[in-house]
């Protein structure tokens, strides 16, 4: 997959998050991902909990906990580091979200690929 425009950087508050569903080939499910912006840094992850494979958000675009300090799984409350995707609390401690490469060019966020930057973590 070549680089895909996700949105304008201004559409993701700092701190904040935004989810995306990218179309794939005919008959294939969309690719679900999200971008988190915190402390001026962007991180992107596949929208899939390493514990169950369930989507992470509470509501559309709501991936962070109440204090905007951590990514929080809506299913079981696991907390993940915003910048590394590492699970810090919950049933998947030590596992990681699947990180994706993003960049900012001319005020827009671009997804480099849907290939993860870290290997799939096994589901428990």
Residue among 55, 43, 59, 54 at smallest CA distance from 116: 43
| Bigger pLDDT: 113 vs 78 | 78
Residue among 121, 30, 112, 123 at smallest CA distance from 84: 121
Q: How many CB atoms lie within 10 A of CB 66?
A: 8
Confidence (pTM): 0.88
For the four alpha carbons of 43, 41, 101 and 17, in that order, the dihedral sign comes to: positive
The CA distance from 41 to 4, in Å, is 19
pLDDT digits (tens, 9 = 90+) for 17-55: 999 999 877 777 789 999 999 999 999 999 999 989 999
Contact 87, 78 (CB under 8 A): yes
pLDDT digits (tens, 9 = 90+) for 46-65: 999 998 999 999 899 999 99
Sorted by where each starts, the structural domains of the chain and their CATH numbers stand as: 4-111 (2.102.10.10)
């Amino acid at each position: 997959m070549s680089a895909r425009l996700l949105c304008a950087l201004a559409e993701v508050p700092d701190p904040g998050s935004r989810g995306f569903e990218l179309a794939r080939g005919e008959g294939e499910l969309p690719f679900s991902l999200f971008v988190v912006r915190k402390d001026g840094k962007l991180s992107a992850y596949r929208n899939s909990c390493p514990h169950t494979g369930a989507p992470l958000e509470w509501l559309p675009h709501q991936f962070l906990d109440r204090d905007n300090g951590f990514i929080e799984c809506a299913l079981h409350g696991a907390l993940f580091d915003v910048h590394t995707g590492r699970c810090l609390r919950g049933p998947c401690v030590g596992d990681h979200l699947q990180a994706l490469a993003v960049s900012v060019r001319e005020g827009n966020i671009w997804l480099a690929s849907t290939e993860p930057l870290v290997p799939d973590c096994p589901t428990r």
